[in-house]
Amino acid sequence: MKQKVEDLDWKNLGFVYRDLPYRYEAKYKDGEWQEGKLIEDSTLVLSEGAEILHYGQEIFEGLKAYRREDGKINLFRPDENAHRFALSAERLAMPPFPEDRFVEAVKQVVLANKEYVPPYDSGATLYLRPFMIGTSNVLGVQAADEYTFRIFAVPVGAYIKGLNPADYIVSEYDRAAYAGTGQAKTSGNYASSLLPSVEAHKNGFADCLYLDPREHKYVDEFGGANFYGITQEGQFVTPKSKSILISITKRSLLELAKKQGLNPVERQITLEEAFNMKEAGAMGTAAVISPVGSITYEGKKHVIYSETETGPVTTKLYNELVDIQYGKQEGPEGWVQTID
């Protein structure tokens, strides 16, 4: 059933799927992408032999549209999502969707569903989920030769608890199994992270923190977001690893941290060093910036800054990033595209 805009409680949306009126779809067939268009049908019809069902040839992205105070709508670095989506496609032997068409399709979906872009100051956004799946019939292990590209939109609240510190647990599962393709250039597949995530939530944690797959010594990332820390000396540090997802939010925060004099660096971070950070947080499109209250490892809880209050560096980074996204502050050139 289609979501009625009048039934939405903007301040209590949660992070759940809702069927909005319009989405974008394009098909790949006979070696080329066909012309795409907005459609109303939210269902997908697949053959039982479809490649996606057997060998998992699928990629996705996530980005948001933000309602400005003047009523217009901002997109935050959609060109970066388009580029990452193309890299993901190449890694999984899929035909990249043209990057300029990707951005234009995102804009079409936002404008077609613009009444669902949450009001300014509601704390909510319109989340965009572009994805591509292999749809042709296969039996042997091989790449598909037909694909479907879609973008749907959902109004959402916070994925993680915003600036309320959250508690995390170091995963006992091998990070390599979670990593999907095991390549930082791809969007990967989150299915193998579901079991450790379910167990973490069952035990009262926000998510898992994964270690490097080789030595199980260095921090990689959280189940659904990248990790950053503020050292005792005040430096912004974030893991350098080949097995974590390229993060647009992380790349943006590295620039903002430099501007704020935090001397940012990407490098290996030992688990012991993470325990002793002055502040730490999760960062990503859905998470935005969520401070880490504690990290539990082998039954011992390590509190980072505070379990009830957010550190000053994290607060400052969060405020600047969100102000840029909502148009309250001008960001670096090209970061924001305003539509409507």
Could you identify the residue written with the tokens 């970061």?
A: 335
In a domain, 189, yes or no: yes
In a domain, 335, yes or no: no
Contact 127, 156 (CB under 8 A): yes
Contact 40, 310 (CB under 8 A): no
Domain count, the chain: 2
CATH label of the domain that carries residue 118: 3.30.470.10
105 token code pair: 């399709």
Say which residue, 241 or 187, is predicted with more confidence. Answer: 241
Task: Check whether residue 254 and residue 290 sit in a common domain.
Answer: yes
Query: With 90 as the cut, is the pLDDT of residue 246 above it?
Result: no
Task: Check whether residue 190 and residue 150 sit in a common domain.
Answer: no
Residue 277 CB neighbours (<10 A): 22
User: Which residues are within 8 A (CB) of 314 and not within 5 positions of it... i.e. 6 or more apart?
Assistant: 163, 230, 279, 281, 289, 291
Query: With 50 as the cut, is the pLDDT of residue 244 above it?
Result: yes
Q: What is the pTM of this model?
A: 0.92
Contact 52, 135 (CB under 8 A): yes
CA-based nearest residue to 21, from 159, 155, 157: 155
Which of 133-147, 177-191, 286-300 has the weakest average pLDDT? 177-191
Helix H segments across the chain? 51-55, 78-91, 99-112, 175-178, 194-202, 248-259, 271-275, 312-325
Helix H segments across 157-193? 175-178
What amino acid is encoded at 24 in this protein? Answer: Y
Domain boundary (156, 184, 212) is at: 156
180 — pLDDT class (breaks 50, 70, 90) = very low
Catalytic site positions: 185
Task: Check whether residue 140 and residue 220 sit in a common domain.
Answer: no
Task: Check whether residue 174 and residue 144 sit in a common domain.
Answer: no
187 — pLDDT class (breaks 50, 70, 90) = low
Q: Which domain holds residue 128?
A: 5-156
